[in-house]
């Protein structure tokens, strides 16, 4: 099934919300009408009439009503994805009187700790790395979530609560889920050249060699530049090779530091990655040689697929948000873009699935902040986000799968909900933040050609040793 990237869909959704809100109102169960200030400064809220009940199209938001104010939120999500994020909670804002002031930055991972240490954190942060979450919790700045947010966690697979639990305490509700174990390609180009989607790693490598030998285009394109988070896509590539070759046990021991980067297993995985994404005959279509991967942004990395300059890109489901308006996404031979499951290196590993997500983390316990936490942890908000954001998936089990009409979302939901899958977060996201940052920098130097894989491994191992 194909569909067009919906630039108009966001506009239509906003218009529909505006029309619905014209029927919105509120009434009071209490005679009291005095307002009281619950907090001052960032996260300040003003309590409206106690026990207020919203009516009309706003009725579903009654449980969040009672506190007006501005809640600041900081994250790494940038436009155009941030546009759908803000659209997803616009009706919540208009009905409750709570304004969510979102700021996105390419320097989020380095900037958030600075703001926390400086005593001026945002009310909420959307943290995509469990390792960074743990660091923030250990700083003493993170507030425990309200009771309703904790209760909403029962709607998620248990592993998500584990990822957001630090020292035995649950701190941050998951906000989204994404599937990283996929390969983007053009069904139109594949059909025109007689190429078929591979179902095994050996088949993927054979296809890569076939495309390279044809001289028509490079089989792979890639980019790992991402502001202060430059290098994370290459960490994802290595994580998937390790999970797909050695399975969950080795992977978990690697994350825990019990298996080092210099170990035979991880060195073998790095060699596989080198032969794949550092093969001069295979990369980097549309941009240049191997070293260009270090300077190409992950947002731009897959665009040469649409120009016939490269055949494939290994990137997550959220990459769909980067495709130009009008791109047809689907598996029909006329469609311009689609993705397939990245097969495991070792076929004996049962459905390895690398995923990611974000966790809503609070640095304030003001009432309005807690209402936003409750809303963002609910299936109600997830359904709203799905409707305006192709390429976005929730692992919330209360969200009907029928809502996913986008083919990428359907593919993601299929693997993310598979009870037999070997599911893991990317290894870098689960390691201490200092190790993750070193990994990103060392991997970037490796792809830029300024050091080899042995030196890269030693550099990361040293960071792990320093982290204790």
Residue 183 has pLDDT above 50, yes or no: yes
- 189 within a domain of the structure (yes/no): yes
- 341 within a domain of the structure (yes/no): yes
Report residue 421 as tokens: 């899958």
Are 386 and 461 members of one domain?
no
Residue 418 has pLDDT above 90, yes or no: no
Residue 142: helix, strand or coil by DSSP?
Answer: coil
Are 149 and 250 members of one domain?
no
Of the candidates 297, 341, 71, the residue with the CA atom closest to the CA atom of residue 184: 341
Total number of domains constituting the chain: 2
Are 445 and 308 members of one domain?
yes
The pLDDT, as a whole number, for residue 35 is 29
- 422 within a domain of the structure (yes/no): no
Are 195 and 154 members of one domain?
no
Are 331 and 284 members of one domain?
yes
- 423 within a domain of the structure (yes/no): no
Instruction: Please say whether the dihedral angle defined by the alpha carbons of residues 78, 84, 322 and 232, taken in this order, is positive or negative.
Output: positive
Could you tell me the CATH number of the domain that includes residue 16? 3.40.190.10
The pLDDT, as a whole number, for residue 294 is 98
The pLDDT, as a whole number, for residue 40 is 32
pLDDT tens column, 194-229? 999 999 999 999 999 999 999 999 999 999 999 989
Are 103 and 28 members of one domain?
yes
Are 399 and 409 members of one domain?
yes
- 425 within a domain of the structure (yes/no): no
Are 161 and 294 members of one domain?
no
Are 294 and 322 members of one domain?
yes
Domain range for 334 is 182-355+431-467
Q: Give the whole-number percent of the chain exceeding pLDDT 70.
A: 88
Q: Give the whole-number percent of the chain exceeding pLDDT 90.
A: 74
- 202 within a domain of the structure (yes/no): yes
The pLDDT, as a whole number, for residue 90 is 97
Lowest mean pLDDT among 156-160, 163-167, 264-268: 156-160
CB atoms within 10 A of CB 46: 16
Residue 8 has pLDDT above 70, yes or no: no
Residue 46 has pLDDT above 50, yes or no: no
Q: What are phi and psi of 33, to 5 degrees?
A: -130, 5
- 158 within a domain of the structure (yes/no): yes
Residue 17 has pLDDT above 60, yes or no: no
Of the candidates 385, 457, 431, 378, the residue with the CA atom closest to the CA atom of residue 10: 385
Lowest mean pLDDT among 334-343, 370-379, 396-405: 396-405
Are 388 and 351 members of one domain?
no
CA gap 275, 11 in Å, rounded: 45
Are 373 and 264 members of one domain?
no
Query: How many Å from the N-terminal Cα to the C-terminal Cα in the chain?
Result: 50
Are 215 and 162 members of one domain?
no
The pLDDT, as a whole number, for residue 102 is 98
What is the residue whose two structure tokens read 């009291």?
32
pLDDT confidence band for 391 (50 / 70 / 90): low
pLDDT confidence band for 401 (50 / 70 / 90): confident
- 260 within a domain of the structure (yes/no): yes
């Amino acid at each position: 099934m194909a569909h067009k990237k919906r630039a108009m869909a966001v506009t239509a959704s906003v218009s529909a919300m505006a029309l619905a809100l014209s029927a919105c109102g509120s009434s009071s169960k209490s005679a009291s009408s005095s307002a009281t200030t619950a907090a001052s400064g960032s996260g300040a809220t003003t309590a409206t009439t106690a026990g207020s009940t919203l009516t009309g199209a706003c009725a579903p938001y009654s449980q969040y009503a009672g506190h007006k104010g501005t809640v600041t939120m900081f994250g790494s999500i940038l436009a155009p994805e941030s546009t759908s994020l803000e659209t997803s909670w616009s009706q919540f804002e208009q009905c409750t009187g709570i304004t969510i002031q979102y700021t996105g930055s390419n320097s989020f991972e380095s900037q958030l700790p600075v703001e926390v240490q400086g005593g001026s954190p945002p009310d909420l942060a959307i943290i995509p790395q469990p390792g960074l979450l743990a660091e923030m919790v250990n700083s003493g700045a993170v507030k425990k979530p309200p009771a309703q947010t904790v209760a909403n966690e029962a709607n998620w697979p248990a592993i998500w609560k584990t990822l957001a639990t630090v020292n035995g305490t649950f701190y941050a509700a998951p906000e989204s889920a994404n599937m990283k174990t996929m390969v983007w390609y053009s069904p139109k180009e594949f059909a025109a050249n007689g190429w078929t989607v591979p179902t095994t790693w050996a088949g993927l490598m054979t296809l890569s060699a076939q495309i390279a030998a044809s001289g028509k285009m490079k089989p792979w394109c890639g980019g790992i530049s991402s502001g202060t988070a430059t290098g994370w896509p290459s960490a994802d590539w290595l994580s998937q090779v390790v999970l797909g070759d050695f399975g969950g046990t080795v992977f978990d021991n690697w994350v825990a530091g019990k298996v080092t980067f210099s170990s035979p297993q991880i060195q073998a995985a790095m060699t596989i990655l080198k032969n794949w994404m550092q093969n001069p005959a295979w990369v980097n279509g549309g941009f240049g040689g191997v070293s260009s991967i270090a300077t190409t942004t992950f947002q731009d990395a897959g665009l040469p697929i649409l120009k016939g300059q490269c055949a494939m890109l290994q990137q997550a489901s959220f990459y769909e948000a980067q495709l130009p308006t009008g791109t047809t996404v689907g598996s029909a031979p006329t469609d311009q873009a689609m993705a397939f499951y990245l097969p495991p290196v070792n076929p004996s590993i049962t459905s390895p699935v690398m995923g990611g997500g974000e966790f809503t983390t609070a640095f304030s316990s003001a009432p309005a902040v807690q209402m936003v936490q409750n809303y963002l942890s609910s299936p109600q908000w997830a359904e709203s986000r799905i409707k305006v954001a192709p390429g976005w998936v929730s692992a919330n089990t209360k969200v009907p799968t029928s809502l996913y009409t986008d083919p990428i979302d359907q593919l993601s939901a299929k693997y993310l909900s598979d009870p037999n899958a070997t599911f893991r977060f990317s290894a870098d996201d689960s390691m201490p933040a200092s190790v993750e940052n070193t990994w990103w920098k060392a991997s970037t130097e490796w792809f830029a050609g300024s050091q080899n894989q042995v030196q890269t491994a030693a550099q990361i191992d040293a960071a792990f040793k320093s982290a204790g």
